[in-house]
Structures are given as C-alpha cells and as structure tokens.
Amino acid sequence: MGSDPSTVPWPMEGDALIVDDELVVCRTYAGHLEKAGCTCHAAQSYNEALSVLDSQRRVTLVITDHGLHGDDTEQFVTTLRARRPGVVVVGSSGKDCREDLARFGVDRFLHKPWRIEQLVDLLSARIGTCASCNTPLPLRRAFPDEVGESWVCAFCGARYKAMLDKDSPAAILRNARRPQPV
C-alpha cells in the first residue's frame, strides 16, 4: 500500500466513502484514508453506500469497486449523482474497466491494489511520476479553465501537456523542463 499514509497530505475537504464487497479491502483502505487525515465510511454494497450517502452529508468522495456481486454499477452511479451531484467518484477494480466506467461518467480510475499516494495524485491532478521512467515530476494536469503547457521529463524526454506545480520540492522542480525548439 506504499509509504506511511500519515505523511501524505490529504487534498480534499469532507469525508470519503469506500464501496467494496470485500470487508478487508474496505477496512484497509478506510484505515489508510483515516491516517492521511480523511474521515472515512465504508459500505459493502451499492444499497448500503446510498444509505451512507443519505445519512452522512459530509461525504464528498466515493471510491467504488466496479460490479459488486453483479450489481449494476451504472445504476448506482446514476442514482448517486442524482442524490449528490457534487460528489467526486473514483472507480476501482482489479481489472481495467476504465472504458465501462467512463461510459457512465466516471473518469477517475484506480487499479487495485492502489496506494494512498495514487489516490492523492488522482484527486489533486498531480502527475506524480513520469510514465516512461518513473522519475518524480513537478507537474499537474491542467484544470478545465487552464491551457496546459509543453513539458518534458529531464531524464527520458517523455512529453507532457501540463502545468508546473510550483509547490513541488526544489529537488523535483529540475526533473521537468521546456522542450527544446526543433
């Protein structure tokens, strides 16, 4: 599950809800989120998750397994968004089901087993590490109102359309540079 979750800065306000039919998965991830500073709730079915959402108004993040016991994930997401339109939904699964999830509006995905750092990167839009060489990068994805800039990994040359995260540690800031003109 990665490094000590208490050293990972939690990027969101509000509570989280883990939805997974495996109790050990719920407890493990909920424990890591709690250590990172997030109050966390757990549910082992979509119906239970909707009950938690109805009773816990501070939930702003739902991390849900795809296809619990054959339940209809699309119906769950549709109902969840109707009841709580502002809630951030992250899909999770042991298999790559991003296309299924994207079809009904879940554009954030974590492949199990995931680490707390991956969730934080996903929520904060940080790119984290270079996809080609795994070097830490001081970049984040552009938000909808921003135009991304061209950057390259200083070590392998992988290209990114992103924004410089000026809050990155100084040692990491030199890991990305502007591409050389051709």
Amino acid letter, residue 89: V
Q: Where are the domains of the chain?
A: 5-124, 126-182
Residue 21 near residue 44, CB atoms below 8 Å: yes
Please identify, in words, the CATH class of the domain defined by 5-124.
Answer: alpha beta
String of b and e for 60-76 (b: at least 16 CB within 10 Å)?
bbbbbbbbbeebebbeb
Stretches where the chain sits below pLDDT 50 are 1
DSSP letter, residue 107: -
pLDDT value of residue 107: 74
C-alpha 122/C-alpha 140 separation (Å) is 10
For 98-128, how does the pLDDT look when each residue is reduced to its tens digit (9 = 90+)? 888 888 888 788 889 998 888 887 887 778 8
pLDDT value, residue 109: 87
- Alpha helices (runs of H) in the chain, residue ranges in sequence order: 23-35, 46-55, 73-83, 98-103, 116-124, 170-173
Mean pLDDT of all residues belonging to the chain: 87
